A = this chain, B = another copy of it.
Amino acid sequence: MIGRLNHVAIAVPDLAAATALYRDTLGATVTDPTPQPEHGVTVVFIELPNTKIELLEPLGENSPIAAFLERSPAGGIHHVCYEVDDIMAARDRLKDSGARVLGSGEPRIGAHGKPVLFLHPKDFNGTLVELEQA
């Protein structure tokens, strides 16, 4: 069912500093920061040959990564995102298996303009899993 690893997301407290670290110290290709107010984050993509890393900085009130950064002020790996061919079929298969889909259980439009779901980390070895329609 799961396909490509679309991205690994890393929450950071200071996007400019983290961007400089990946660009200058690790020598990676990084994009300009993109504010996504509808998702409560500003995003920089680290473009690797086979996938990407998303650096996420909180934006505005009620950012979905604010609580994570309160627990881990220096930042940390926030989630992994796998692509699926049919997100509704994936959702139904997961629910049938007992895995918990976060929120309403319905896909919403994610940071790449495609339907996404998040799965409860307690059901996946402490790993927050995002599924994105391929």
Q: Which residues of A approach B to under 8 Å, CB–CB?
A: 1-5, 8, 10-13, 18, 21, 24-28, 48-51, 53, 55, 72, 74-77, 80, 82, 93-94, 97, 99, 121-127, 129
User: Do B26 and A126 touch across chains, with their CB atoms under 8 A apart?
Assistant: no
- Which chain B residues border A4 with CB–CB below 8 Å? 48-50
The CB with the most chain B CB atoms within 10 A, among A13, A77, A80, A93, is that of: A77
In angstroms, how far is the closest chain B Cβ from the Cβ of A105?
A: 16
In angstroms, how far is the closest chain B Cβ from the Cβ of A47?
A: 11
Given contacts A77-B77, A77-B80, A80-B77, contact A2 B27 (CB under 8 A): yes
Enumerate the 3 nearest inter-chain pairs by beta-carbon distance, A residue then B residue, closest first: A1-B27, A75-B125, A76-B126
- Which chain B residues border A72 with CB–CB below 8 Å? 126
The CB with the most chain B CB atoms within 10 A, among A2, A49, A51, is that of: A2
Given contacts A75-B125, A125-B18, A127-B76, contact A5 B2 (CB under 8 A): no
User: Do B8 and A28 touch across chains, with their CB atoms under 8 A apart?
Assistant: no
Report Cα–Cα, A27/B129, bound state, in Å.
14
